[in-house]
Structure 1
């Protein structure tokens, strides 16, 4: 049976609805990070028990759900995994989606004012809610004060992780005082997150107290990812591009090993079980967004973005937007089970299981190519359907599959990448082959005789096959682009994409934020 938090996040959403829509949710935007509304819940009038504190924490957890829109879209469409072609009058939106894919944005363009600004506000809203709850818990007499604080500090660290990944240096706010804040360096944000997670993991439980809550595994998984990305995250971005910092490869191995050797997680025998409608049963998933179909509007909508209008009976029908690139789809080995998450060829209705048609009544057949992304046909492009649709979903934002931030497979591949960078290539490939075992029948292992440069390309490709649609690819291409042996770079030309300025490995601070806070300094190049 669901425990209290999963009931909160999945069913009644008590804390998420009451608090996010009310007192805790009343903190608005980046310039009001620390504003406390007059009707705010305070230690004087609420949060007297651990149950009440947990209900307040649910509002902080609820803020994670916002990453399934802006953070996901920008991570995917800027890379070579997915794009959003214009289909007649659908999906143009003043050129915003093509701008994201072509990397032609600036601080005042459509995608900056809509998508990037949305991520900035969503993540700082999460920081504000976490800060408010941290202040409440610090003033409480809870017997579980340290554990509650560790949980909230981990969530706040995650919101800052997203901000660091996208924008580099941002304001660092840890209190509820109201005052303008200048941005600090990206390295300072990195060190803050690192310190917070290392402190929290000493207190967090080995296993989540309830499904969906953070644990030692979550803190260690974030750290492993940060350390493998340290040359980027602790580097400097100028108008000329990224100047890398030193690697933190042994730190990455240590953090990954703490997850791998914890005994809490194991690789799912069925790859697709990690993304199923009931993927809360997966033994592999470490950090997830707990989605729900009831009440409506608290689930995911990834299925809607990719499926054709006629493929699901949800009210209004799917949106027929996102599609893959032929170059990327054709990179997969045809025997790789992970290739099946891409839909091509004749299509069925997920309601009837029977062949379906396009809007003109012709058989619906997804091509693997797109002729012109500015005027694509409704059937063009492979569709990434990693999270299968619930047939009874009441609306397009109510698919209950839990979105996975981190799972055990990534810990193996992070460790493999770090080992390879330390010159231990044979050990690295052995770990990659452990992930490949469930993807092929019969097994198709990589050669342990690969050179270090060859292994880099193999690991990057394996991450594409394993993590497509999991908002990893942009980060992977930035981290590995330009290294010896790697042929795909984040700013390099790709299908329908021309080479762009190297400083765009960071997004601009949106113009609206600069107008609201004169202490902010724009990222280099913009």
Structure 2
């Protein structure tokens, strides 16, 4: 991206708060733009880099790449619904091509975010907190790019020249650059609790994640990864600093509260992508769609105005093999019932979506062709959900499912992220996207201890498990397999699974309608356009 176009985008953000997608675009002279940016409020320069994270982490972008390529999720074609040019089938079967819609769009969103971050860095004062935040955000964009695509276009963080071609970082060069950049600014970042500003603990969490996956990034197609003792000790040291800071604490009451609309500054969340519920459509395919995308078309839920009734999309679901790893009866992360999933009558105020995995026959508010029916006393009747807008069949979410689904209802649905919509605008939400949580640091540390062969990994695993289910939920021993499974229980539907499967060597395994074991599919193809325009950027092997 050339400097003029980045300046123009930043100017729009500064002038208009980066809120509207349909603002009038006026051509601004570059010299005027330079002056405007030089004198801009630092937070205005940072805003585009922060806000663009919403797009990278949108439900059809990094979420889809991390979830529907892994053993935890699938978005099947249901009759004439959800073929989408085969995009979701290709993700699931590990058959993506360089023209794949969502891998291309994710790449574009990452590049935009890196441009916003770099531009902010170039205009913010050396040594300032805001510049350090911009470097932190750039580092996170670079990590997503490295993890998903294996190549990172990079222009540095000093004397940035947007009119020169970027260098292309891969493997150890990308890892060392991300780490070095974070280390160079960590002391300028704020301390304390602020889940929506990039803090010192956010930087340490990102560094720990990079070190944990370093062996993968340096030898992407290895049969077995060589995790060095030095790297694992770095993971232990960084996670310990954050854990022992006392700034964050594990959730012990309601696991799903971390994914509610009021989750900003939740005690367990270290850093999250801030979302705003606004009357102005910002877009970004919000995190609420990670849930509504899979809810039954026959199930009515209500927008946060309390009156607008909406339905799900009967799309994504989880997979039977993943569900089989759970202790469903005893793990509170599996399911939380907010209203009884059975016939009955309840006050309307108690009608809030059940959370976790929605399995079997679904029950919801009684309605007449989509219009909710209220009793005279203000109560509502809960009845078996039928697809009133399709074929009047029952919404029975069975475990067995295939890429070409036999009907709209098969496949267990995932209701982890809270629904927080404005009317029919389902792109905006007040639910922040948790990127780093304290539980992740405990489990990263446990994994590093096991790979290092030193330290009490069991204590870290049980610290998380006891926080979720009490003393009786502790386990007697911890192996790498236990940590792998625990990460599945803890972080399902949270952008982790593909990365975890690659690191633990299960990404080439077989699961529902997925048999491809090609190691080249561990990273995604680079879109053709950027390859043609960027010297040094090459297509990944196998594409």
**Count of aligned positions:** 477
Specify the SS of the correspondent of 1:303. helix
1:331-365 CA distance string (max 9 Å, x none):
11021011111111232447868333223334322
Gapped runs of 5+ residues in structure 2? 1-11, 304-308, 336-355, 366-371, 373-379
In structure 1, distance between residues paired with 2:31 and 2:199: 28
Partner of 1:121: 108
TM-fit CA distance, 1:330: 2.2
Mean Cα deviation higher: 513-522 or 71-80: 513-522
Question: CA 1:268–1:423 in 2, change beyond 3 Å: closer, same or farther?
Answer: same
| Residue among 62, 80, 98 paired with 1:71 | 62
1:172-198 CA distance string (max 9 Å, x none):
123242233352322211111101111
TM-fit CA distance, 1:442: 5.9
Partner of 1:354: 382
Question: CA 1:224–1:105 in 2, change beyond 3 Å: closer, same or farther?
Answer: same
TM-score, structure 2 as length reference: 0.81
Mean Cα deviation higher: 358-367 or 127-136: 358-367
CA contact (8 A) 2:421 2:428 kept: no
1:23-71 CA distance string (max 9 Å, x none):
x999xxxxxxxxx97458745234536xx21122111100110122211
Partner of 1:363: 394
Partner of 1:205: 190
CA contact (8 A) 1:293 1:393 kept: no
CA contact (8 A) 2:236 2:448 kept: yes
| Residue among 184, 189, 193 paired with 2:169 | 184
Partner of 2:427: 397
- Would you say 1:339 and 2:313 are equivalent positions? no
In structure 1, distance between residues paired with 2:211 and 2:501: 16
Gapped runs of 5+ residues in structure 1? 1-12, 27-35, 140-144, 482-488
Partner of 1:307: 295
CA RMSD of aligned residues (A): 2.8
Alignment of 1:505-524 (within 5 A): 505-524=522-541
In structure 1, distance between residues paired with 2:149 and 2:526: 7
- Would you say 1:103 and 2:98 are equivalent positions? no
In structure 2, distance between residues paired with 1:353 and 1:469: 31
Question: CA 1:37–1:105 in 2, change beyond 3 Å: closer, same or farther?
Answer: farther
CA contact (8 A) 1:183 1:521 kept: no
In structure 1, distance between residues paired with 2:294 and 2:441: 28
Specify the SS of the correspondent of 1:406. strand
1:240-286 CA distance string (max 9 Å, x none):
76764635100001110111011211111221111112111420001
TM-fit CA distance, 1:318: 2.4
Question: CA 1:497–1:41 in 2, change beyond 3 Å: closer, same or farther?
Answer: farther
CA contact (8 A) 1:20 1:62 kept: no
TM-fit CA distance, 1:420: 1.0
Partner of 2:148: 166
| Residue among 167, 188, 212 paired with 1:228 | 212
TM-score, structure 1 as length reference: 0.84
CA contact (8 A) 2:151 2:537 kept: no
